[in-house]
Structure 1
């Protein structure tokens, strides 16, 4: 009988269980977007997960969303990531890098340049900068001839990720960042071949994934999506049609997995499961929600056809989450005050369950 603790074959990787550590921004990188020894410890502590997906990693300087996040666009960044992947592998784990281009969710104070986006429409709310939250600026709309460069950035970062020892990459197509902005019907007001119709709105996502598949192979390429999500003010019309069209194209490319957030009605998500013939990772608690997913959420979505279940906050606060869920041990809560503050407190200071003597 298949359970959360059954093994699973993901491309060429054999996962010992079906728990995935979801990508979570932690802003602990060093200057220059370099991974650190603390990051190696953090991910290695959680290597019992079937698969780890890292925090979002920018594929270019202009793609950086938040200060303090790591990159994969320089040789120095590749070298800094190698001890991280080596530590995870030494502890028996598997790790994908999430490649995240922020698009309009950025600020000149962070990158030194005006953000780019499908259209000159600012994100809703305030964005993080080195001096604190600031109103999201109006981005520069990409010319048609420039779009391919940013699709290729995902592939270039994927090559560097493999060079750094990662087992694969996940393109961040969710939560209002660049791919999501192209999918959107209010952030994307373009009238060229990248805007308007469903076919045009999915084009950038398909081109970015296709370039990545060509660069590192379909078995090393996944994508995360948030159907109907409204992060950073994005809206999407015709969600079932939009994502059915996108998943159909992704199926033709044969990517390793699709990682969905539960941002749409369950009926819509189950319909997308029927559309998608490959591996489905399901995140039962979307985005920045305060709820911490548990065993019941996982079992529910496994019953609805998901293959793997991703956990965010629960993995953050419980490095031994696999053992805790397997043995019905208490799940520790995450300390929100330490999510983005930097340093090792609330990062390396969560401990494994202490059994009574």
Structure 2
């Protein structure tokens, strides 16, 4: 019977425990999406976590719409990530880079270009820009040639990630961003080979996975899905069928791990669920390691891993105020909870990131 604190291998990535740090957008890079020194301290502080999934990291400028989020598309960014990954490794940790294209959830005030998506739809809410928030813009429907360019950008970003010292990559196909938009019932109205049938809607995800596996190897490749409920205006009606079909494809490609974000009625992040959780069914079909995420308590996390429902559990916001989360989970020490933490999530500098002011 496995324990949350037992070692685990995600393909060729050997982790010391089954606690995973979920990707957390924290906005401490430069305006040019270059990682900064304070980010090294942040990740180093959390290196006892078995596997760190980096904050969502842009594969190109047009797909990175959050101000001060990092990228991995050019040499300057690669060089800036190197001391961060080294710091994690020096502490015995493992870290993968989450590859991100936001699709229609970008704004020209940040990217310098019109947002893009599967079809010409609009993000359902205000978007963060450098001087506050702005109304969303209508997305440009990607041409087939533009889709191919984006797939190549994923491939380049994956290679850059290994060059930067990451142990592997996780493709972000969740939370209402570009790849999720292609399988959404209200975001993909295409009639070409990337729309209409389920086979066509899944095509871009399959092509991205194939490109990344070719670039870095299946043993270093993971992907993240959000498998139930509407997420940032993206809803997948037949979610069980869709994601179990993807599980079978990922088996063919021998993808190492999948992160599943599952919402619930009590969720405190993004939209509430309207569909049943499918993580247990997914884990039975998928041959790689499955990682579940969403507001797990210590007791729930231990039980899920011991029962075999999932191989690991990822924690998000708890790791922000508890960099020593593994020790606290092992010894049943209550987490530090900061009611004011949200005001620091997307701010700048060390405060509320690597150091916390007294209450």
- Normalised TM-score (structure 1): 0.93
Aligned pair in 2 of structure 1 residues 160, 193: CA closer, same or farther (>3 Å)? same
What are the ranges of 5 or more consecutive residues in structure 2 without an aligned counterpart? 264-272
Instruction: Give the aligned partner of residue 57 of structure 2.
Output: 57
Deviation at 1:297, TM superposition (A): 2.5
Alignment check: 8 A CA contact 1:198 1:241 kept? no
Pair 1:279 & 2:283 matched:
no
- Supply the distance in 2 between the matched residues of 1:304 and 1:126 (Cα, whole angstroms): 40
Instruction: Give the aligned partner of residue 290 of structure 1.
Output: none
Pair 1:36 & 2:42 matched:
no
- Supply the distance in 2 between the matched residues of 1:83 and 1:97 (Cα, whole angstroms): 14
Deviation at 1:294, TM superposition (A): 2.3
Pair 1:70 & 2:70 matched:
yes
Instruction: Give the aligned partner of residue 213 of structure 2.
Output: 213
**Equivalent residues in 2 for 1:81-100, closer than 5 Å:** 81-100=81-100
Aligned pair in 2 of structure 1 residues 135, 328: CA closer, same or farther (>3 Å)? same
**Equivalent residues in 2 for 1:1-357, closer than 5 Å:** 1-263=1-263, 265-266=275-276, 268-285=278-295, 293-302=296-305, 303-334=307-338, 335-350=341-356
DSSP-derived class of the 2:236 partner: coil
Deviation at 1:149, TM superposition (A): 1.1
Deviation at 1:13, TM superposition (A): 2.3
- Supply the distance in 2 between the matched residues of 1:196 and 1:89 (Cα, whole angstroms): 45
- Supply the distance in 2 between the matched residues of 1:269 and 1:340 (Cα, whole angstroms): 30
Deviation at 1:266, TM superposition (A): 5.0
- Normalised TM-score (structure 2): 0.93
- Cα offsets for 1:272-301 (capped at 9, x unmatched): 22221211011133xxxxxxx321231242
- Supply the distance in 2 between the matched residues of 1:222 and 1:42 (Cα, whole angstroms): 23
**Between Structure 1 and Structure 2, how many residues are aligned?**
344
Instruction: Give the aligned partner of residue 354 of structure 1.
Output: none
DSSP-derived class of the 2:81 partner: helix
What are the ranges of 5 or more consecutive residues in structure 1 without an aligned counterpart? 286-292, 352-357
- Cα offsets for 1:186-212 (capped at 9, x unmatched): 111111111111111111111011100
- Supply the distance in 2 between the matched residues of 1:253 and 1:110 (Cα, whole angstroms): 35
- Supply the distance in 2 between the matched residues of 1:267 and 1:321 (Cα, whole angstroms): 26
Alignment check: 8 A CA contact 1:284 1:298 kept? no
- Supply the distance in 2 between the matched residues of 1:341 and 1:267 (Cα, whole angstroms): 33
> RMSD of aligned C-alpha atoms?
1.4
Higher relative contact order at CA 8 Å, sep ≥6: structure 1 or structure 2? 2
- Supply the distance in 1 between the matched residues of 2:300 and 2:65 (Cα, whole angstroms): 30
DSSP-derived class of the 2:78 partner: helix
- Supply the distance in 2 between the matched residues of 1:212 and 1:26 (Cα, whole angstroms): 25
Deviation at 1:107, TM superposition (A): 0.3
